[in-house]
Amino acid sequence: MTPTVTLSLQEQLDALQHRAGLRALEDHGVLAVKGADRSAWLNGVVTQDVRALEPGQGAYAVAVGVKGKVLSDLWVHPAPDALLLVVPLAQRDALQAHFERYIVMEDVTLEALTDVTVLSVQGPDARRLTEGLGASCADRLGRGGVDLLVPAGDLDRVYVALQHNVPVVSIDAWEVARLEAAVPAFGVDFDGGNFVQEAGLTARAVSFHKGCYLGQEMVCRLEMRGQVQKHLVSLVLEGPAPERGAPVLSEDKPVGAVTSAARSLALPGSAVALAMVRRTTVDAGEALAVGAAPARVVPRPVP
């Protein structure tokens, strides 16, 4: 069965914000890390501490290159015989090839699981409503949530189990909820040209106490010196949502660009956006605009 959206946009947002909503992450894939050394090895190639994860837990992390630039973000979910990585599908093959270069003597193998669908249930009731379905924590929209990694043969059963309590939500509702919570998306708000500090991922994705990992030196150096020239900020704008790439202006001069935006249902007549903006401009509190629309920086929630 293929569930469809039956609620209005406002009802979908209410579900995501106050109960739970379901979306199949068709733009994500799964990499399985297997072998006796999988936890210690993975801990050495991602930014988060994943050594103590247990079933039902999940960890948000980033893979970075030796120069500290983001290769991909990912969620790590433990399974009985593997660590399952949910990654952007467009990055899966490149990330697998990158990881395999750093398997030397370890008992580790990587496998792309092409018959697994990632269902994400987001909202404060997500954990309760998915009990018994093998859910693993993955707060993707800032209000609590889980991922379900479902083999093709079990997909209909899981959909049936959820259909009466968890409505399906559209990508439009998902994007509004994401931007209201100021959660950046890989490939949209940041990509392989960014450091983790530019994308504002350190609080969610980086452990500064876990020991060495690939790219750690640059991540730590930037954190200590605070020298990134630009970073993501959350904006509220008057009027309709601007196009992606629209210039952010200060005194009519470009100081950044919108990375994603949507009409806000919580603030009628306004839009919410993420934008990559020059850090010194934001630190100085300079007035901003996108086109003719005034824009103000709002604090990004602490995860």
Q: How confident is the model over 222-265, as pLDDT tens digits? A: 988 877 999 999 999 999 999 999 999 999 999 999 999 999 98
What's the gap between Cα 45 and its chain centre? 18
Q: Which two tokens stand for residue 22?
A: 């379901």
Determine the CATH number of domain 9-180. Answer: 3.30.1360.120
Could you tell me whether strands 270-278 and 109-112 are parallel, antiparallel, or unpaired per DSSP bridges? unpaired
Report the C-alpha dihedral over residues 68, 95, 186, 277, rounded to 10 degrees: 20
Banded pLDDT at 211 (limits 50, 70, 90): confident
- 3-state SS of 232-289 is EEEEEEECCCCCCCCEEEECCEEEEEEEEEEECCCCCCEEEEEEEEEHHHHHCCCCEE
Q: Do residues 166 and 21 make contact, with C-beta atoms less than 8 angstroms apart? A: yes
SS3 assignment, position 160: helix
The beta-strand segments (E) located in 25-66 are 28-34, 59-64
Average pLDDT over residues 19-46: 98
Q: How confident is the model over 126-181, as pLDDT tens digits? A: 999 999 999 999 999 999 999 999 999 999 999 999 999 999 999 999 999 999 99
Q: How confident is the model over 70-125, as pLDDT tens digits? A: 999 999 999 999 999 999 999 999 999 999 999 999 999 999 999 999 999 999 99
Could you tell me whether strands 288-290 and 21-24 are parallel, antiparallel, or unpaired per DSSP bridges? unpaired
Domain with CATH 3.30.1360.120 in the chain: 9-180
What is the pLDDT, as a whole number, of residue 1? 75
Task: Name the CATH superfamily, with its identifier, for domain 229-298.
Answer: Aminomethyltransferase beta-barrel domains (2.40.30.110)
Alpha-carbon span 50 to 65, nearest angstrom: 18
What is the pLDDT, as a whole number, of residue 226? 72
Domain with CATH 2.40.30.110 in the chain: 229-298
Spell out the residues 6+ positions from residue 253 whose beta carbon is closer than 8 angstroms to its own: none
